[in-house]
Structure 1
Amino acid sequence: MNSLAGNSKETRYFCEESLPGAARIIRDGGLVVFPTETVYGLGADAGNNAACQSIYAVKQRPADNPLIVHVHSLDALAECVDSVPEDVRVLFDQFSPGPLTFVLPKSMKICDTATAGKATVAIRIPSHPLALRFLEAGGIPVAGPSANVSGKNSPTSFQMVHETLRGKVDGIIDGGDCSVGVESTILGFSGGKVQILRPGAVTYEMICDCLGKDAVKPFNSGGSQQSHGVPGERYAHYQPKAQVYLLACKANYNLRNRFPQGQIAYIGLSEPELADENIEKIVCKDVVDYAQNLYRAFYRFDSAGCQAIIAELPPRTGLGEALIDRLTKAADNRFLD
């Protein structure tokens, strides 16, 4: 464990052996950045209003945007909600611990600040081994939205959170790179059906295979997710400093006509057919690789001073649905024409 003096806090660094120290900070009302399989989370005691208010302050997050709560077991989850529907138990057995979040009526164990005053809580059990040990050591539910300034690129590596949050939080757990790379799937439950409120690595097809297609409502990108208490879906999100432009099909673009100055970057599944060869590029081998690399690529491109990022859209199936959702928000619907 190391320490580093920052702007206003001394940020302590933790590894597997020192996780009990990180858990003590959470129990004492502090802020700890912790790794998950999806993205790094900015953690605080989910039952402590003042601690959760600190999350909003550090992230510059709107007060009406609820936080996702993390626990280490189904028993711990059950203590945070009024009841656990049978569909949740079935999905838990299949996909949890893992990148799947449930929106359920909350119990008194979760403070109003964590849910932005809503009667429901978004809650999940992460699969990252350090996250599970950290949560178990703390013994309390931990609110943990992505560890970034609201609206900006989500962190999927220790380096990303180290550079952006040192001096602003009490602790950071080094868990290496996140294995999934995009935020969890969020599910709501109403009218006897499961509704996908945010797509993620647990896909529509996987949920249909588990529950049956008739029991599942697919993600609606134009839907009113905020009415379901879905964290992060009401506001601009996932945006790097560079402007992102979406590429819907392979074509030959002379990007220098549009961007005469500055570095240009590309990420996608296919080798880009671009007139300008002087670009930073990442060609991913499949959608899993694309998801794992997306936010780290944005971070790399921003660090290189890129002015524009060209992102190829993947097929709208499986994990591609989640990638399209993140890319569309990152680009603010800007397409190359």
Structure 2
Amino acid sequence: MDTKVYIIDEKDEEKIKEAAQVIKKGGLVVFPTETVYGLGANALDENACKKIFEAKGRPQDNPLIVHVADFDISKYVKYIPKNAKKLMEAFWPGPLTIIMPKSNLIPDLVTAGLDSVAIRMPENKLARKLIEFSNVPIAAPSANISGRPSPTSIEHCIEDLYGKVDMIIGGERCKVGIESTVVDVTEDAVTILRPGFITKEDIQEVIGNVYLDPAIKSENFKPKSPGMKYRHYAPKAPLKVIIGDLEKVVEYIKENVYNMKRQGKTVGVLLVDEVINEIDADIKISLGTIKSPGIIAANLFDKLREFDKTNVDLILSIGFKEDGLFSAIMNRLKKASGNNYVEV
């Protein structure tokens, strides 16, 4: 497939309209959002959405998020629950996906056969213009090969999907850097199915008590949200995450780097600015300062992909205490490692 690539921003409306025509005709367009780049197709066209799964190599029991340009979602849901209205008013447009009862207009393929649909209004202006000009909602998972780190730059998208999609547009780096928070409001108890930039604490301020779905840590279930099942976000080399007091984590990594080097192995370490100089490893990459979880989140997938350009046999990563935004960061790190982590 001949893939067109346009480096543009939201002001380049002619190119965005050209991309919208691709969507209308059942094609695939990669586009930026504030979270990660998305691989988009007409959410109302089942055949178009099938192409998403084919391009990504994505299992079809993994539902897609439907992206909209405004608050008028009545055609896509049976009704809008009271808590959904509150969350939409508080966090849309933005990195929050809300699961609601779906209407018959949404194909079963998009929702993996579930009777609920995940909907989000992105903050990114280019994304919203693409949806608006397409005049249909756009189903879009992350624009990467399934299982790989999600793309936060147009270069990542070209690396993974050039020749597999009709068009790639954008150019800006995603400012959030991890996928949206997914919250299920179809039951009385509002539940977070995937942690993200909008934290549990943020949501509780708006609607009161919120639960974390225990299925986030289990593999034996049918996922109601993207990112809940299967290994995700993984670099090519095996990744191990070390969780605990920072001093103990550093000592553990030092010892393991030393032992791996004695075996002739090349080791990469993923750290923070505060301790990057304390460890002697073949490849050292910092996520940023531990004082700025937003920067760490924005850097995470890009830094994991950096290791793919090296010849490391193993990556050892610092872990974080799971609160606030670090809950989402740790969710991604654990998925990227295939739950290969140790507490020290």
Other-structure match for 2:313: 307
Q: Does 1:80 align with 2:59?
A: no
2:59 to 62, 71, 88: 62
The C-alpha deviation readout for 1:3-39, integer Å capped at 9, x for no partner, is: xxxxx33334262311000011000000000111111
* Number of equivalent positions: 327
Other-structure match for 1:267: 271
Shift of residue 219, structure 1, vs aligned partner:
4.2
The C-alpha deviation readout for 1:183-223, integer Å capped at 9, x for no partner, is: 1111112442210011001100001111123xx11343335
Q: Which moved more, 1:230-239 or 1:51-60?
A: 230-239
Q: Does 1:10 align with 2:3?
A: yes
1:279 to 283, 287, 296: 283
Residues 19, 275 of structure 1: alpha-carbon distance in 2 compared, 3 angstrom cutoff: closer
CA contact (8 A) 1:14 1:171 kept: no
- Aligned-partner SS, 1:152: coil
- Aligned-partner SS, 1:298: helix
- Aligned-partner SS, 1:193: coil
1:135 to 120, 131, 134: 131
The C-alpha deviation readout for 1:38-77, integer Å capped at 9, x for no partner, is: 11111001111111110011111111111111011110x2
Name the CA distance, whole Å, in 2 between partners of 1:316 and 1:229: 23
Residues 191, 113 of structure 1: alpha-carbon distance in 2 compared, 3 angstrom cutoff: closer
Aligned identity (percent) is 38
Other-structure match for 1:251: 250
CA contact (8 A) 2:287 2:303 kept: no
Name the CA distance, whole Å, in 1 between partners of 2:174 and 2:312: 24
In structure 2, list runs of 5 or more residues that go unmatched: none
1:186 to 170, 182, 203: 182
Other-structure match for 1:232: 227
Name the CA distance, whole Å, in 2 between partners of 1:115 and 1:321: 26
Shift of residue 245, structure 1, vs aligned partner:
1.3
Write the letter of the residue equivalent to 1:268: V
Q: Which moved more, 1:111-120 or 1:28-37?
A: 111-120
The C-alpha deviation readout for 1:136-193, integer Å capped at 9, x for no partner, is: 1111011100111111111011111012211110001114110111111111124422
Q: TM-score, normalised by structure 2?
A: 0.89
2:163 to 163, 167, 186: 167
Name the CA distance, whole Å, in 1 between partners of 2:60 and 2:33: 24
Shift of residue 273, structure 1, vs aligned partner:
6.8
Shift of residue 333, structure 1, vs aligned partner:
2.1
- Aligned-partner SS, 1:102: strand
Q: Which moved more, 1:96-105 or 1:278-287?
A: 278-287
Other-structure match for 1:20: 17
Shift of residue 316, structure 1, vs aligned partner:
1.3
Q: Which moved more, 1:279-288 or 1:151-160?
A: 279-288
Other-structure match for 2:211: 217
The C-alpha deviation readout for 1:218-261, integer Å capped at 9, x for no partner, is: 34333579546212312111111121111213332231412533
Q: TM-score, normalised by structure 1?
A: 0.91
Name the CA distance, whole Å, in 1 between partners of 2:286 and 2:302: 11
Shift of residue 269, structure 1, vs aligned partner:
6.0
1:321 to 322, 327, 330: 327
In structure 1, list runs of 5 or more residues that go unmatched: 1-7
CA contact (8 A) 2:97 2:119 kept: yes
